[in-house]
Structure 1
Amino acid sequence: MNVDVSQLTKSFGGAAVLKGIDLNFRSGQVYGLVGRNGAGKTTFFNCLAGLEKHGGKVAAEGEVLKDRLGFLQTEPYFPSKLTGREYLRLFCKARGVSDENLDERNVFDLPLDRYAQQYSAGMKKKLGLLAILLQKNDFFILDEPFNGVDIHSALLITEIIRRLKIEKKTVLISSHIFSTLKETCDIIYVLEDGKIAETIGQDDFDRLERDMAAFAIGNRLDALQFG
């Protein structure tokens, strides 16, 4: 699914968080979004998903984006007294897709008959991802999909993103683990002060990683005097 974002703005009170973002997302491409905490990444995702009112325009090939969008939030919400199985069935029903053979499609080996609220943080993240995958969406927003998951699940999620790309889906990822972005993304956008400060292609991923490390670490550790 191709999605065009034009002059997207968002303010809370008198504070402008997003200041006129222009981006074009294309089918079969994986995009990364990086920025410091508070840069506006989650706000941008919420605007795309229709969870926040905003200025500007989001156009999705003549369709309403939210009807073909799978949004994995940093901390997915789970109603009380709802099992993992019931949660998956709810998401399938919302898109009118089959909820049969859930045990066979449970690629993360989740305990589907336990209440989802009793899951660990990593299990909740995997359940949320599985739910939007079962919906057969065309555009995926994955906000920190690797947070809290074990190494085996992280490898599986990386392969899922690759398969989505092969199937010509559009994927937008935010992750604090830069290696996961290097492995999966075609383009990485740097969000800074409410604007897209840089657009980075694969040839410059290593340079971006060095720049981010230099900014994050700098000479901050000298004061600890490890020696």
Structure 2
Amino acid sequence: MIRIENLSKSFGQKKVLDCIDIEFNNGKVYGIVGENGVGKTTLFRCISGLETYEGNISSDVDNLKDTLGFLATEPFFFSKITGKEYIRFLVNARQVKLTNIEDKNIFDLPLNQYISTYSTGMKKKLALTAILLQENKVFVLDEPFNGVDIQSNLLITEIIKKLRELGKTAIISSHIFSTLAETCDEIFLMKSGRILKKVDRKDFADLEAEMKEFSIGNQIAKLELK
């Protein structure tokens, strides 16, 4: 369980997160949606212990950061490291014993190649594989489906469902609403650094319609396409 109370974050004079109160329970998958720049990534970085903030983040574990796997939109990699070395590095950081890495290479990545030779999608799949093998209790996934091929997206969807089965907590952002609708138990709508509302699964269709109306409206008509 993760409880966030009165969480705020500013960069200079710009307030990015504004008094957020939210709770994430074990064995559930949560989606965070909103336009670019509303604060989703900053919220994820605060939860993951990568940003300072005002307010409080508490959990039912002694040190949340040590049991949390964070998948960034653009994961960072050292230039001269292979895929296999990267996985071993992250797994060793959690003191998890790992054998037969090749058997766990479900995305069929070239693990003996330098990561600098990987495509954007391959890098994301490598980073996801590594945090999964860390045996984390909480997963914060920032745009896990972005830049990844459709077959891998299907696999990632099933992985997220498995995490729920195992009693893990997963928090996801995505611009592909259908992936959230298929995996999430609840979705939170963010705007201007605040959580506007929480939506249960039974109301996902209404939320999608609302977001389409807000985002699209009469914008296409303005183009006067012929």
TM-score with structure 2 length normalisation?
A: 0.98
Query: What corresponds to 2:211 in structure 1?
Result: 212
Following the alignment from structure 2 to structure 1, what is the Cα–Cα distance between the partners of residues 115 and 61?
Answer: 36
Secondary structure at the counterpart of residue 16 of structure 1: strand
Identity %: 53
Following the alignment from structure 1 to structure 2, what is the Cα–Cα distance between the partners of residues 195 and 46?
Answer: 16
1:62 shift after superposition: 4.1
Q: Which amino acid letter does the alignment assign opposite residue 117 of structure 1?
A: S
1:192 shift after superposition: 1.1
Specify every segment of 5 or more residues in structure 2 that has no aligned partner in the other structure, as ranges: none
Q: What does 1:113-128 correspond to in 2, within 5 Å?
A: 113-128=112-127
Following the alignment from structure 2 to structure 1, what is the Cα–Cα distance between the partners of residues 136 and 43?
Answer: 19
Query: What corresponds to 2:155 in structure 1?
Result: 156
Query: What corresponds to 2:10 in structure 1?
Result: 11
Q: Which amino acid letter does the alignment assign opposite residue 38 of structure 1?
A: G
Query: What corresponds to 1:191 in structure 2?
Result: 190
Following the alignment from structure 1 to structure 2, what is the Cα–Cα distance between the partners of residues 60 and 129?
Answer: 23
TM-score with structure 1 length normalisation?
A: 0.98
Following the alignment from structure 2 to structure 1, what is the Cα–Cα distance between the partners of residues 119 and 14?
Answer: 35
Residue 166 of structure 1 pairs with residue 165 of structure 2: yes
Q: Which amino acid letter does the alignment assign opposite residue 76 of structure 2?
A: Y
RMSD: 0.8
1:117 shift after superposition: 1.8
Give the conservation status (yes or no) of the 8 Å contact 1:88–1:99. no
Secondary structure at the counterpart of residue 152 of structure 2: helix
Size of the aligned set, in residue pairs, is: 226
Change in Cα spacing, 1:152 to 1:62, as seen in structure 2 (3 Å) is: closer
Secondary structure at the counterpart of residue 63 of structure 1: coil
Q: What does 1:58-77 correspond to in 2, within 5 Å?
A: 58-77=57-76
Query: What corresponds to 2:89 in structure 1?
Result: 90
Secondary structure at the counterpart of residue 209 of structure 2: helix
Following the alignment from structure 2 to structure 1, what is the Cα–Cα distance between the partners of residues 109 and 65?
Answer: 27
Following the alignment from structure 1 to structure 2, what is the Cα–Cα distance between the partners of residues 30 and 77?
Answer: 25
Following the alignment from structure 2 to structure 1, what is the Cα–Cα distance between the partners of residues 61 and 158?
Answer: 30
1:214 shift after superposition: 1.0
- Residues 125-146 of structure 1 show CA distances to partners (whole Å, capped at 9, x for unaligned) of 1001000000000000000000
